[in-house]
């Protein structure tokens, strides 16, 4: 089983994070799989748009804290881990990516959503910058990156949870959809 699955449908590549038992947390295997998928998407002249989604009840729960505890450091910490070869993560991808948010988008998962060009979320999706709950500072730059109003970015920096409806109201989510059964 691949932890990141791809499916090409004409000119569209669907990239699905597939580690639902860990809510698709950003582990090494997920990061490596995303890098491979987005490089393939970038380099294939026939592909025009990607859709990024997750399997199960989570889009992406952010940093894989279990893995980080096992290795003794955050893989995503500045100066730690390998330099990303992922054109989506390092901002050099020149093709559009649609976020199909099917559930929890927490911490780094929320940051994945921020990087997408269009966002469609199920009404039950939950968004949060989880760093504040771990005594880390995060979220203040969301006013800039996500074009969120300052008071909303401040709530996010303080670890408030947001419903898909709330983020739709402030213009962060393009469309709300019903969850498939």
pLDDT tens digits, one per residue of 112-147: 999 999 999 999 999 998 766 665 555 556 666 677
Cross-sheet strand order for the sheet of 49-54: 4-9, 12-17, 49-54, 97-101, 118-122, 175-177
Judge whether 92 lies within some domain: yes
pLDDT value of residue 142: 63
Residue 114 parent element (H or E): helix 108-115
Return the DSSP state at 26.
B
Task: Give a yes or no: residue 134 inside a domain.
Answer: no
In a domain, 144, yes or no: no
Domain that holds residue 74: 4-129+162-177
Task: Specify which residues 122 forms β-bridges with.
Answer: 177
Structural domain includes residue 152? no
State residue 135's pLDDT score.
Answer: 57
pLDDT score recorded for residue 139: 55
Q: Is residue 154 part of a domain?
A: no
Look at the chain and report how many structural domains it folds into: 1
Q: Looking at residue 106, what is its pLDDT?
A: 93
CATH code of the domain covering residue 118: 3.90.226.10
Beta 126-128 vs 104-106: how paired, if at all?
A: parallel
Residues of the chain with confidence (pLDDT) below 70:
1, 73-83, 131-145
Q: What is the pLDDT of residue 53?
A: 98
Has residue 153 been placed in a domain? no
Q: Does 74 fall in a domain?
A: yes
Structure tokens at 166: 């709330």
- Torsion over CA: 38, 121, 54, 21 (sign): positive
Task: Establish if 151 belongs to a structural domain.
Answer: no
Q: How are the residues of the chain apportioned to helix, strand and coil, as percentages rounded to the nearest 5?
A: 30, 25, 45
């Amino acid at each position: 089983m691949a932890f990141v699955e791809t499916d090409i449908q004409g000119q569209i590549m669907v990239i699905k994070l597939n580690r639902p038992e860990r809510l698709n947390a950003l582990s090494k295997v997920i990061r490596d799989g995303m890098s491979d998928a987005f490089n393939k998407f970038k380099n294939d002249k026939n592909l025009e748009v990607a859709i990024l989604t997750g399997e199960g009840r989570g889009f992406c729960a952010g940093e894989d804290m279990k893995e980080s505890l096992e290795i003794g450091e955050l893989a995503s910490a500045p100066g730690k881990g390998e330099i990303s070869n992922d054109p989506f993560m390092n901002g050099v991808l020149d093709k559009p990516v649609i976020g199909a948010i099917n559930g929890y988008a927490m911490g780094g998962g929320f940051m994945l959503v921020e990087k997408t060009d269009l966002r469609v979320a199920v009404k039950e999706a939950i968004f949060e910058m989880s760093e504040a709950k771990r005594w880390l500072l995060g979220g203040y730059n969301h006013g800039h990156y996500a074009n969120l109003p300052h008071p909303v970015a401040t709530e996010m920096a303080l670890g408030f949870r947001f419903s898909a409806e709330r983020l739709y109201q402030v213009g962060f989510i393009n469309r709300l959809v019903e969850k498939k059964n």
